[in-house]
Chain A
Amino acid sequence: MFMFEKALTGSRNYWYWILGLVVLIGLAFLAYLQQLEHGLGITGMSRDVTWGIYIAQFTFFVGVAASAVMVVLPYYLHNYKAFGKVTILGEFLAISSVTMCGLFIFVDMGQPARVLNVMLHPTLNSPMFWDSISLGGYFLLNAVIALVTLSAEKKGIAPPKWIKPVIIISIPWAISIHTVTAFLYSGLPGRSFWMTAILAPRFLASAFASGPSLLILLCLLIRKLTGYDVGREALRKLAVIVAYAMILNVFFLLMEIFTAFYSRIPEHMEHFQYLFVGLEGYSALVPWMWTSVILAVVSLLLLMTPTIRNNEKYLPIICVIVFLSLWIDKGLGLIVGGFIPSPLGAITEYAPTLYEISITVGIWAIGFLMVTVFYKIALSVREGFTK
């Protein structure tokens, strides 16, 4: 099925890697069985903080998924040849990320067996319905595009003409997945932290920094492991994209802070206060948020210096810094921070439990497994790399 046999041959290290991922997935599965048995009470979530690391990770990976558009758009729309070798990797990263998003939503459900009710009783006024349509559609689009273009390549023929419009549709669709995901949060009365029109643009900016950072890291890794080289120009262009997106992301965050603190409206300030200086003695996330800020500033300095950005020795370090900074900002602070303080002014802190962390790590492992298998297939088809 789908050239899957290509993923079944590999070196000893390849199989150790696969085995490691499978073990993590197995552990997560056991943890999930516990959650299924005892309910979401075994997580760190509470009456006041009703969404935790699952939904935060979901939000973060919607961004990673959407960021594939940063290679698809230049390559297919502007015929930017330098992205010829990296585009398929971006698409497969998107497919894997969307799958992770779906899993993060699924494990967050109190009644997972009923999750299809979202489709059985479609509710046009719920952003969650549109988000599932948007994510499902994005998954299908990317799966079709990757499969069709790769099969054509395998047969050594040009991909069918009808795939072009599908690719064009996938571009605005990528923007839509992160916009609708922002709408999940930004239209809720009483949740002033998210009640900001800049949430969707901010989501997109951070997505276009974190996603391409991850893509660069993956490209460098497979070059080291297999010799498949996406090319210097592609890496440099991706780094430029990361630089601009990161600048925009920090700029948007500063906009938020100005609006909240110059207006001095308490409900708008409190969440930032909790996250960055602590509120009424509660400050669990403060070290995390400052780590994110410092990493963001360092990454900006490095990204804006062309000699450093273009040096492939420093590039992976920069990408790790960007990724970590945004992972903390979006994959942790943005969702949890919206619940603290609660609309009634109560402060309940949140920390994920071991079960929750294990399930989260397991979903990451599924993502890595998918990326590994997909990249293996893509590379074997493309260059006959067999390692």
Chain B
Amino acid sequence: MIISRKKFLKIAGVSALAVTGERLARNFAGAMQSEEQKTAGALTTKRLAMVIDLKKCAQEEGCTQCIDACHRIHNVPVIDDRNHEISWIWKDEFKHAFHSAHNEYTAKHIEHLPVLLLCNHCGNPPCVRVCPTKATWKREADGIVVMDWHRCIGCRYCMAACPYGSRSFNWTDPRPNIKEVNVDFPTRTKGVVEKCNFCDERLAKGKLPACVESCPQNALFFGDVDDAGSEIRQVLASEFAIRRKPELGTNPEVFYIV
């Protein structure tokens, strides 16, 4: 059979369209299905949250045990250049973490109070909303904002969307900067975004997040805020806790006792 070039291009074009169309249709169908599942499972879900008691945290001056524990087990590279730094959990001063709560007469010990910062696992996460590949999503079962490092295309839209600076990008290959690789957890490649995962891999084994477990002051509380009887709810009921930038409507799940 002899096909003219024009005809060949036509056939090729139509086939490509058909394949893409089928794929698109399947994906849309999938998206709709998961919407339904969400409502069906609503009663059984949890909302995992964290409370950080900054007074307790500050008692151990210069302590970085939670940060070390987290970064060690999650193969977070140590990069000296702040511009290329990867952080899942880190400390910054109160005046940066709570920009609007700070004023010129704020007591010095509050102004410079180190605040532990990590992903807020927002109830309404802008990073998830903007991701063009569904490489980051909010888990229906427990509300953790997780990531698929194999799907992430490294567009960094989530970093522009996150109002908390909680996401890090691998500007270079992270592996040479990991001192000791934890073989039970994946390392990342250059060109993808990463962040705190609330230790979903530990939760699956019934363990607490590494930061919570490693804190010598027991300053971190973790649990289900949907469960009225949980420890975290008792802490929140007895102490005044604030969240970062609640006015943005992101609904952060990390609370701070100042």
Does B168 reach chain A (CB closer than 8 Å)? Answer: yes
Contact of B99 among A114, A125, A126, A345 (CB under 8 A): A345
B8: min CB distance to chain A, Å: 13
Is A190 an interface residue when CB atoms closer than 8 A count as contact?
Answer: yes
Picked from A39, A51, A121, A342, the residue with its CB within 8 Å of the CB of B133 is: A121
**Given A40-B171, A120-B23, A129-B132, are A110 and B85 neighbors across the interface (CB < 8 Å)?**
no
Q: Which of under 10, 10 to 19, 20 to 34, or 35 or more describes the interface residues of B?
A: 35 or more
Separation of A230 and B210 alpha carbons in the complex (Å): 70
Cross-interface CB contact of A189 among B126, B189, B191, cutoff 8 Å: B126
**Which size class do A's interface residues fall under?**
35 or more
Q: Is the CB of B250 within 8 A of A110?
A: no
Closest chain B residue to A339, Cβ basis:
B160
Docked pose: A331 CA to B121 CA in angstroms: 34
Give the nearest-CB partner of B97 in chain A: A344
Q: Is B113 an interface residue (CB 8 A)?
A: no
**In angstroms, how far is the closest chain B Cβ from the Cβ of A69?**
26
Query: What 1/0 flags go to B11-53 for Cβ under 8 Å of A?
Result: 0000000001001100110010000000000000000000000
**Residue of B83, B99, B135 touching A344 (CB-CB under 8 A):** B99
Query: What are the residues of chain B within 8 A of A40 when measuring CB–CB?
Result: 154, 169, 171, 190-191
Pick the residue among A41, A50, A112 that contacts B159 (CB under 8 A). A50
Does B231 count as interface, using CB distance less than 8 angstroms?
Answer: no
- Other-chain residue from B28, B83, B189 in contact with A46 (beta carbon distance below 8 A): B83
- Please determine whether A189 and B20 come into contact, CB atoms closer than 8 angstroms: no
Q: Is B163's CB within 8 Å of the partner chain A?
A: yes
When distances are taken between beta carbons in the complex, the residues of chain B under 8 Å from A123 are: 131-134
Question: Are A121 and B97 interface neighbours, CB within 8 A?
Answer: no
Contact flags A45-84 to B (C-beta < 8 A → 1, else 0): 1111011000000000000000000000000000000000
- 18 residue pairs of the A-B complex, CB under 8 angstroms, read A38-B190, A39-B172, A40-B171, A45-B171, A50-B156, A50-B169, A108-B156, A110-B190, A110-B193, A111-B154, A117-B151, A118-B132, A120-B133, A122-B28, A126-B129, A343-B245, A344-B99, A345-B96
Q: Enumerate chain A interface residues (CB-CB to B < 8 A).
A: 38-41, 45-48, 50-51, 105, 108-112, 114-115, 117-129, 132, 184-185, 188-191, 338-339, 342-346, 348
